A and B are shown apart, each in its own frame.
Chain A
Amino acid sequence: MSRIQIRQGRLIDPAHQIDRIGDLYIANGKIVALFDAPDGFTPDTIIEAENLIVCPGFIDISTRLREPGQSHKATFKTETVAAASAGITTLVLQPDTQPAIDTPAITELVKELAKKTGYRQIHPIGALTQNLAGQELSSMLALKQAGCIAVGNAGKPVANLLVLRRAMEYAASHDLLLIYRPNEYSLSNQGCAHEGAIATRYGLPGIPETAETIALSQCLELAELTACRVHFGQISCRRSVIKIQQAQKYGLNVSADLAMHQLHLTENDMKPFDSAYHVLPPLRSEQDKYSLRNALAQGIINCLCSDHQPHDLDAKLGAFPETEPGISALETLLPLLLELVRENLVTLSQGIAALTQNPARILGLNRGHLSLGAAADICLFDPDLKWRVDHQNWRSKGVNTPFWGRTLTGRALYTLQSGKIIYRLHTGERYE
């Protein structure tokens, strides 16, 4: 295996509070030294990292690659290339594939698909219930043994609180993390936009925040009853933040993540009936965005994700309520994070932690840090490189993003997974 020296980058490792310029040395897929070369180290490859940030590769806790079942939307092949180009080295997959990831066989299939791409770190979440139907428990232990990193509902309803209680008890018995997107279906009631002034003006069926907060409150109650570890996915409103903060103060072992677009867009940004803005949970109010940003700044919620949901063109071609929700978001993750840093909401180290150390800790993964001996999952990015979100630069098969056509700042130049360069941006001679 090759020996790589990454020269004179700004090394940022939130796990060890490192933030200074220096070299990083990799051998046999592992980090072998920081700053000072090990004795007798002769690199095969030198990567010049002057003016670049060198940090752990990003861990995306909520993505969809659409296989098996919906390869017309995206494939492992297209989306792992997109992920690598965005500096993401670990993907956690939601179980709502077709069929759902609810048996060891489907888990094996997912692992097989992953293996073919050469992209190593793909971790499926197992379905909490059979076929995600919310009625009967899945074989959670078998799913865990087959390689599922957690169990979850992928935002689908669980039939009733008794089923949820049993599922949480059973998950807790096998020390499985529950990843739960809170949504009370009877209240979201086929809505497609935030229940607020914009939905009212455009006659769009609304989804109240209460659809989220009621489901969240119920799940928090059951977390106390069952001692199940719960991670809440894609929190979207101020009142949910308050509830999570209260639960943490009370001593419950709960965490949460935020989808990056929720920190940048609100209902007011929606162009009339533009399906690129159709996402669940919906884009909420300015006040909600402000609260979510605060929650990140204060560390109440310290994990970010892309909530990547690539779609085919047809899925987004129709009257707004009839289109499919979701944003293709892997490739905008880093530049949108850097926007938060430039706005002084979080420090660069804090922002990187929300995509590395913190999700790793939630998932129990030994990744997301630059420890000696750790797998060399590394992202090298230029925080000032401007690029346009267009067909030339975009790699995901899904072009469904409200940021299409915009110029964003910040881009990965190299991505390494276990010491292997899986991505390199070709910009003329400079990086060849």
Chain B
Amino acid sequence: MVDNVQLNAEGKLKHFLSIDGLSKTLLIEILDTAESFAGMSEHAVKKVPLLRGKTIVNLFFENSTRTRTTFELAAKRLSADVISMNIATSATSKGESLLDTIRNLEAMFVDMFVVRHATSGAAHFIARHSAPHISVINAGDGQHSHPTQAMLDMFTIRQIKPDFAALKIAIIGDILHSRVARSQILALNTLGAAEVRVIAPKTLLPAHVETLGVTVSHNLTEGLEDVDVIIMLRLQKERMTSALLPSESEYFKCFGLTPEKLKIAKPDAIVMHPGPINRGVEIDTRVADGPQSVILRQVGNGIAVRMAVMSMAMQVKGGS
């Protein structure tokens, strides 16, 4: 089950679809490249000409604000021409197939697709069926993968706690439906984290989750012990209507991160969340806005990491 579609013949990044199958060296290269872009945001001129003349199309078959905006900014800071298409309300709703949409855009001499889609495997499908010169970046597909989010989380962790081998990380919440969690788990294990724990009720854990290389707990108090990094996941409202959980209040009582619960973790533990956050559902406002929270730093880092991945996939080097 080796997945080489995202690497070119030299083993370099061609598409960025999943963390699966990528080496530690490559992940570190992404982080180092992102590092070189990170300082740029504070400059008066926030642009580098690395992707000048390239055309990037953001194909969002599913709604998103944060991810789409940071991808757009990242492309612009690399001097690429960028178009964002919200396809949830576009051609495909008129019955055009995914492949036809791609083919039509290809005909407009596009160099890169950034794809978000509600179905697992959509980005792989597009990568397999696009013209050879096109790179595909996965901005989230179904419940499968959201690799740029995972890498910006790794980047944020590394800024504060550089030695992954010393870290115990807890991921809390709806693992079952989370492409972010799957990508984080793969990235953390590839980077050699000491321990990755998932904490959730059984209804929100996928079958055989331990095969991803995690330890499992159904109890937040127990699971937070000795933890360096806490990653909270967003709880979607529809989980209540599909009988996965009884109520938001019961969920908060069991799995919500409050200041009291946070004390169980290591005193210097950091709190992360891929956003958007549900205050009072998975996280207490005092924690979300508290000194241990790095949630907003994650958002800012998203631009640098996406610049890194885009430039690497287009086979250009740089940064300042």
Q: Which residues of A contact B (CB under 8 A)?
A: 195-206, 208, 268, 270-273, 314, 317-322
Contact = CB atoms under 8 A, between A and B. Distances in A.
Given A196-B207, A203-B144, A318-B98, A273 B124 contact: yes
B209 A203 contact: no
A200 B144 contact: no
Contacts of A322: 119
A202 B186 CA distance: 11
Residue picked from B1, B3, B97, most chain A C-beta under 10 Å: B1
B124 A272 contact: yes
B119 A200 contact: no
Contacts of A272: 1, 3, 5, 20, 121, 124
B117 A319 contact: yes
13 contacts: A197-B211, A199-B206, A200-B206, A201-B212, A203-B143, A204-B121, A206-B206, A272-B3, A317-B97, A319-B117, A319-B125, A320-B125, A321-B120
A357 to B, nearest CB: 39
A206 B209 CA distance: 13
B125 A200 contact: no
Interface of B: 1, 3, 5, 20, 97-99, 117, 119-122, 124-125, 129, 141-145, 179, 182, 206-209, 211-212
Given A204-B121, A321-B142, 10 more contacts: A197-B207, A201-B212, A202-B121, A204-B144, A270-B1, A271-B1, A272-B121, A273-B125, A317-B99, A322-B119
A321 B119 contact: yes
B98 to A, nearest CB: 6
Contact of A202 (B5, B99, B117, B120): B120
A203 B145 contact: yes
Residue picked from A206, A268, A270, most chain B C-beta under 10 Å: A206
Nearest to B146: A203
Contacts of B207: 195-197, 199-200, 206, 208
B56 to A, nearest CB: 21
Nearest to A202: B144
B234 to A, nearest CB: 16
B1 A320 contact: no
A204 B119 CA distance: 9
Given A202-B120, A206-B207, A319 B98 contact: yes
Contact of A201 (B5, B20, B119, B142): B20
A273 B121 contact: yes
A202 B142 CA distance: 10
A198 B124 contact: no
Contacts of A203: 120, 141-145, 179, 182
